Structure 1
Amino acid sequence: MTENALFDALLQSQADADPFLEAPGTSPLSYGDLRCKVLQAIAHLQNAGVAPGDRVLCQIEKSPEGLILYLATVGAGAIFVPLNTGYTGAEIDYFLQDADPSLLILDASTQHARDAATVRGVAVVSPATLTAEGPEAAPVPRASDDLAAILYTSGTTGRSKGAMLTHGNLISNAHALTGLWRFTTDDTLLHALPIFHTHGLFVATNVVLGAGARMLFLPAFGLDALAEHMPRCTAMMGVPTFYTRMLSDPRFTRAALAHMRLFISGSAPLLSESHAAFERQTGHAILERYGMTETNMITSNPYDGPRIAGTVGLPLPDVSLRIASPDEHGIGGIEVKGPNVTPGYWRNPEKTDESFTEDGWFITGDLGEIDARGYLSIVGRQKDLVISGGFNIYPKEVEVQIDALPGVQESAVYGVAHPDLGEAVAAAVVLTEPGATDEATIVAALDDHLARYKIPRTIRFLTGLPRNTMGKVQKNVLRDGYGA
């Protein structure tokens, strides 16, 4: 009989007494506790009518129960669908319609989602009910090509799409990253990420489980909490915002972080300046990696060897990567193939077909280039490419020059409609302090470094760039708000 692939890969090898998780305000969990709670939750899910292949939607605040419910849903042979806690009632209604779940797991306070579920006739259960003590049930057999999860994309170019992830997708990534990043039973991960996203749920959690390591599980990111708990940890995974904020805090010194083994960054580009500043302040070179919802992780800078700022490193083992239709600079579309890649989008065969080449490579939608050492650098999204007067302009090339100027904290370059050129370059700039520089000074400085057609024709000064929950700059918001 086929076993439950993901359950067996992540929850079978650790000793019962080995510590798994500590979270402020809750009792510690050992691996034995975790297995017991997961098997009990499988029974609760089955009693609630969840059958193999059913979708289970989950919109709850970050808690250890969220991890238990993820593992129990997969163990029950169902498909876990985590939802951003910020989604509105209208957004929840769309996911209920699209995913057609048998169950919606909600915190008591989420009334708008409860109302939407009532309209759709979907049963609602609290996480407390599903994680209560009770009889255990055995995992349901599932093969590596069975679906384990659906993660909805951010939907910046239209309706969110449900990226399907199989047991094998998640297992391959967990095994590859555990080895690449040298996680062992001696490690304790400081977990400050949300768990409705692939970074915090599948990368962080699955690597810890795969290594039999421990985690300190924080409800959210906060500098005080990091300073308090980091002395007991060996590694942290974060988004660039974590590291830029740590740089502004005098508690995170070379001496204070001397015990740490590894800092990993992803989900959004890390500025080369931030990488260099963090290494100067702490003595640690951040390890940057690259992935996406549909593929989990694709590349990583090496654990041993140069961690090159501005790059996202080398392809993972068994993952192939190529640059399609490169231009004269070697920049082109990033395409990937491997055991980590989604089989497609939930109930969306048209979008699935559009996202794969005829020879089976997944089209990421990102633009990149590979240097002589094989390291990949991300130039931007294909949809963010600005074509002005027939010339291709890669926003990152312009952003790097703007970010290096005195008085500039960060920038985002995007295209706006232009009656003559088709598109013109525009920039949103955040200053280190009000009045630190001005548009004329920036344009004059860029004139020495960029061709005229790449220089922004308009610059807007903002107090902050619009970002999603994982720290990615939302250029669609800039185009929509400042597209004139």
Structure 2
Amino acid sequence: MYKNTPFGPTKTHKRQFENGIVHFKNEQALADFPIKITDKLEHWAKIKPEHTFISRRNLVTKDWEKLSYAETFEKVRNIAQYLINLEFTSGETVVILSENSLEHALLVLASVHIGITYTPISPPYSLVSDDFGKLKHCLELMTPKVIFAQSGKVYQKALELSKTIFPEAIVITADGENGGHFQEMLLTKPTTDVETAATKVNADTIAKVLFTSGSTGLPKGVMNHQGMWCANLQQITQVFPFMQQQPPIFIDWLPWNHTFGSNHNFGLALYNGGTILIDDGKPTPKGIEETVQNLREISPTAYFNVPKGFEMLIPYLEKEPALRENFFKNLNILFYAGASLAQPVWNRLEELAVETIGVKIPIITGLGCTESGPSAMFANWGGAFSGLLGVPVAGMDVKLVPDGDKMEARYKAPNVTKGYWRNSEATAAAFDEDGYYKTGDAVKFLDENNPDKGLVFDGRIAEDFKLSTGTWVNVGVLKAKVISTGSPIIQDVVLAGLDKEYIGAILFLNADACRKLANLSPEISNKEAYLNVEVEKFINNWLAEFNKTSTGSSTVIKKYVIAIEPPSIDLGEITDKGSLNQRAVLKHRFDLVNEMYP
């Protein structure tokens, strides 16, 4: 039995044409939505001024620092006036280099309110990269007038590079080091110029540019128009009407340079008059401790994470009854994105919910991308499973186009981007002759005779390959099976075998899970843990069992190698949300590929 969470309708309309193309829609109409998201901020500042909108722990005292809706709107107007005084010219933008913070949020909302385009650049581009290639590319594309970093000391090298490229840019830091102090912005008194600028913003004004990691080459900047963002928030709210009925409470770490954390989670809290608490933890051995401490105090109404985050949370929920009670008591949904959730993790989450509150919490996912702001469809009902994508959001026209033996999903809706920032070639290539965005995602109906049961993920069109026998390998489906059955030791996988006789797998392992399996101390290196005899035994046993359920050469993995070195962000092997880039890994690890195909 599942918790009685109110969900939006899932009645659909499916129309098939003689050429094999299918159009798939939700019968629910899309309700009206505001022009810009700060219209909601102004609304809530008037309706419930004292309600906490956003909060973050003070890094020194560890106390929660809170901003109400009224306080937030007041500070946003101050910063907006500061930006107006700088007299931005056409094409000049605000660039944010650093992590989620109160200052980051305020600068975002001020920029959006008066129609200045901003972009949040992935912090690893500044902190992890060795050559700053992606950072340089993003900066040059955005021509910033203002560059913000939370810590001038932490981001010193990135700021020095920024000033080299754009010496006239205004650098602002929250701590005042290596730039102007953020406090100066807050002390600026707003004039009627703020309201004048705000009234000139329309649905087609570009609110932000979000960089996608891309399957090849340098990141592309997806234009997020004001109306696009708000349309998607209205669509998501219609999928999850409980967010309107009760102000949501989110505790969230997902980065705002990515559409999941920024457009979806941050946006939903604001759109529905809720509260978002910034979690400075992450799904890492050290970061998970911070997340768990926050969840001991905060009871979310919905909880968003990537599969790895849920996997790392489970041991704490199993050990701490009080944490478990606090976590589940107000939850309406658990929501994952970014990768497939291993079925054992899914099952354990449901078991823990039943043990704690007597019912299962619906585990929700769907399908989307940065270009759709992000959400295009949801499986918003209890009893879903990993890989089920659900049905389109209201106002979304999904066109399914035959591509070989697969169907590619294409989108047309108010929440779909108009293209890529200063990249007309990529924009032209992204849309078909009818104006539908080409996702590259392959899908199929769970039940051809009952489209209301939704679509199922069927891999990525570009990732699939043929063996030398001419047999197609469905990479997405096979990869999901590997991760699900190999969890927690196998964290991710890249499949090889183009024009070869058999499939090979480059395995990326979970170092902590390997240490635990082999009873090794935390000081043991990742390499030693990966190559431990107990880990080798586990993988060999897993592979034997995996292949027992395979149906032919397209689903049998003959050989594997273990990737000792972690994926490189500079080489494009990993995105900032942690997913692997199959093509880049195969390109840069040809030695591992050759090891499987001597």
Whether TM-score is above 0.5 comes out as yes
Verify: 1:203 aligned to 2:310, yes or no: no
Specify which of 98, 102, 105 is matched with residue 67 of structure 1: 105
Residues 41-81 of structure 1 show CA distances to partners (whole Å, capped at 9, x for unaligned) of: 11111223335653211102321111111111111211111
In the other structure, the counterpart of 1:248 is 315
- The separation in 1 between residues aligned to 2:231 and 2:302, in whole angstroms, is 21
SS of corresponding position for 1:119: helix
Matched, 1:117 2:162: yes
Work out the number of aligned pairs and report it.
478
Q: Secondary structure at the match of 1:102?
A: strand
- Partner residue, 1:147: 206
Name which of 453, 461, 471 aligns with 2:562: 461
Q: Could you list the per-position Cα deviations for residues 233-261 of structure 1 after superposition, in whole angstroms to 9, with x for gaps in the alignment?
A: 32221111111111222246654433122
Residues 40, 243 of structure 1: CA spacing in aligned structure 2 closer, same or farther, 3 A cutoff?
same
Using the size of structure 1 for normalisation, the TM-score is: 0.90
Other-structure match for 2:328: 258
User: Does residue 1:277 correspond to 2:348, yes or no?
Assistant: yes
1:436–1:429 distance in 2 versus 1, CA, 3 Å:
farther
Q: Aligned partners of 2:270 and 2:482: how far apart in 1?
A: 42
Contact 2:54 2:277 in 1 (8 A): yes
CA distance in 2 between counterparts of 1:258 and 1:232 reads 7
Aligned partner (choices 9, 20, 37) of residue 75 of structure 2: 37
1:375-394 alignment, distance < 5 Å:
375-389=454-468, 390-394=470-474
The corresponding residue for 1:224 is: 289
- Structure 1 residues 392 and 136, CA, compared in 2 at 3 Å: closer, same or farther? same
1:194–1:220 CA contact under 8 A, matched in 2 = no
Equivalent residue letter for 2:493: A
Residue 300 of structure 1 and its aligned partner are, at CA, apart by 4.3
RCO comparison, higher one (Cα < 8 Å, 6+): 2
Please give the residue correspondences for 1:311-390 in structure 2 after superposition, counting only pairs within 5 Å: 311-325=388-402, 327-328=404-405, 331-372=406-447, 373-389=452-468, 390=470
What aligned pairs does 1:423-434 form with structure 2 within 5 A after superposition?
424-428=503-507, 430=509, 433=517, 434=535
- The 2-side partners of 1:270 and 1:404 are apart by 7
The answer as to whether partners of 2:494 and 2:585 remain within 8 angstroms in 1 is: no
1:37 and 1:405 mapped to 2: Cα distance? Answer: 50
The residue aligned with 2:18 is: none
1:291: Cα distance to partner?
1.8
Q: Which amino acid letter does the alignment assign opposite residue 249 of structure 2?
A: T
Name which of structure 1's ranges 374-383 and 285-294 shifts more when overlaid on structure 2: 374-383
Deviation at 1:263, TM superposition (A): 1.7
Deviation digits for residues 451-477 of structure 1 (CA, Å, limit 9, x no counterpart): 124423421235797453323233235
Q: Distance in 1 between matches of 2:407 and 2:270?
A: 36
CA–CA separation in structure 2 for the residues paired with 1:60 and 1:413: 30
Of 30-39 and 83-92, more deviation after overlay is shown by 83-92
Counterpart CA distance in 2 for 1:94 and 1:186 is 40
In structure 2, the CA distance between the partners of 1:174 and 1:11, relative to structure 1 (3 Å rule), is farther
Q: Give the secondary structure class of the aligned counterpart of 2:560.
A: strand
Instruction: Give the whole-Å Cα distance in 2 for the aligned partners of 1:57 and 1:277.
Output: 41
SS at match of 1:62: coil
The DSSP-based 3-state class of the residue aligned with 2:243 is coil
Q: Distance in 1 between matches of 2:165 and 2:107?
A: 22
SS of the aligned residue for 1:325 comes to strand
**2:222 maps to what in 1?**
163
Distance, in Å, in 2 between the alignment partners of 1:207 and 1:448 is 42
Segment of structure 1 superposing worse, 4-13 or 139-148: 4-13
Could you say what secondary structure the match of 1:312 adopts? strand
Counterpart pick for 1:133 among 187, 190, 193: 187
CA offsets per residue over residues 118-155 of structure 1, 9 Å max, x none?
A: 22234132143344222024242211011111111113
Change (3 A) 1:127 1:400: closer
8 Å Cα contact 1:7-1:71 kept in structure 2: yes
Counterpart residue identity of residue 203, structure 2: S
Q: Which moved more, 1:406-415 or 1:282-291?
A: 406-415
1:435 maps to a residue whose letter is: E
Cα offset for 1:183?
1.1
Q: Which ranges in structure 1 are unaligned for 5 or more consecutive residues?
A: none
1:295 to 372, 380, 383: 372
TM-superposed deviation, 1:262: 2.2
Q: Secondary structure at the match of 1:117?
A: helix
* Equivalent-residue separation in structure 1 for 2:433 and 2:347 (angstroms): 41
Range with greater deviation from structure 2 (48-57 or 203-212): 48-57
Match of 2:152 in 1: 108
In the TM superposition, what is the alpha-carbon distance from 1:92 to its structure 2 partner? 2.1
TM-aligned CA deviation for residue 413 of structure 1: 4.1
Q: Cα gap change, 1:10/1:206 in structure 2, threshold over 3 Å: closer, same or farther?
A: farther
1:357 is paired with a residue of what secondary structure? coil
1:397 matched residue in structure 2: 477
In 2 relative to 1, CA 407–366 (structure 1 residues): closer, same or farther, beyond 3 Å?
closer
Task: Report the residue type matching 1:458 in the other structure.
Answer: K
Tell me the distance in 2 between the aligned counterparts of 1:10 and 1:312.
31
- Alignment check: 8 A CA contact 2:236 2:375 kept: no
1:234 pairs with 2:301:
yes
Gaps of 5+ in 2: 1-33, 59-63, 127-131, 175-180, 354-359, 518-534, 568-573
In 2, Cα distance between equivalents of 1:469 and 1:251: 31
Partner of 1:232, secondary structure, is coil
Once the 2 structures are TM-superposed, how far is the Cα of residue 165 of structure 1 from its aligned partner? 0.9
Distance 2:398 2:35 in 1: 30
1:5 aligns with 2:36: yes
The answer to whether the 8 Å contact 1:7/1:74 transfers is yes
Q: Distance in 2 between matches of 1:62 and 1:337?
A: 31
Q: CA deviation at 1:98?
A: 1.5
Q: Which digits, 9 at most, give the CA deviation of each residue in 1:137-177, with x for residues without a partner? A: 42422110111111111134111111111001100111121
In structure 2, C-alpha distance between the alignment counterparts of 1:286 and 1:317, rounded to whole Å: 21
The counterpart of 1:180, out of the listed 236, 239, 244, is 239
Preserved contact between residue 506 and residue 563 of structure 2 (Cα < 8 Å)? no
Are 1:190 and 2:251 an aligned pair?
yes
User: C-alpha separation between the residues in 2 aligned to 1:224 and 1:445?
Assistant: 33
Q: Identity over the aligned pairs, expressed in percent?
A: 20
Instruction: State TM-score, norm by structure 2.
Output: 0.73
Give the CA deviation at 1:36: 0.5
Rounded to whole Å, the distance in 1 between the matches of 2:272 and 2:104 is 20
Q: Helix, strand or coil for the counterpart of 1:267?
A: coil
Q: 1:204-233 CA deviation, whole Å, 9 max, x = no partner?
A: 111111100112222233433333333433
Question: Secondary structure in 1 aligned to 2:328?
Answer: coil
Contact between 1:301 and 1:312, CA under 8 Å: does it hold in 2? yes
Give RMSD over aligned pairs. Answer: 2.8
Residues 364, 11 of structure 1: alpha-carbon distance in 2 compared, 3 angstrom cutoff: farther
Match of 2:338 among 252, 267, 274: 267
Alpha-carbon separation, structure 2, partners of 1:255 and 1:364: 40
What is the CA–CA distance in structure 2 between the aligned matches of 1:216 and 1:445, rounded to whole Å? 41
Partner of 1:478: 585
202-211 vs 311-320, which moves further: 311-320
2:491 is the counterpart of 1:415: no
Structural mapping, 1:83-94, within 5 Å:
83-88=121-126, 89-94=132-137
Q: Distance in 2 between matches of 1:58 and 1:186?
A: 29
C-alpha separation between the residues in 2 aligned to 1:398 and 1:388?
14
Determine the C-alpha separation between the residues in 2 that align with 1:448 and 1:286.
26
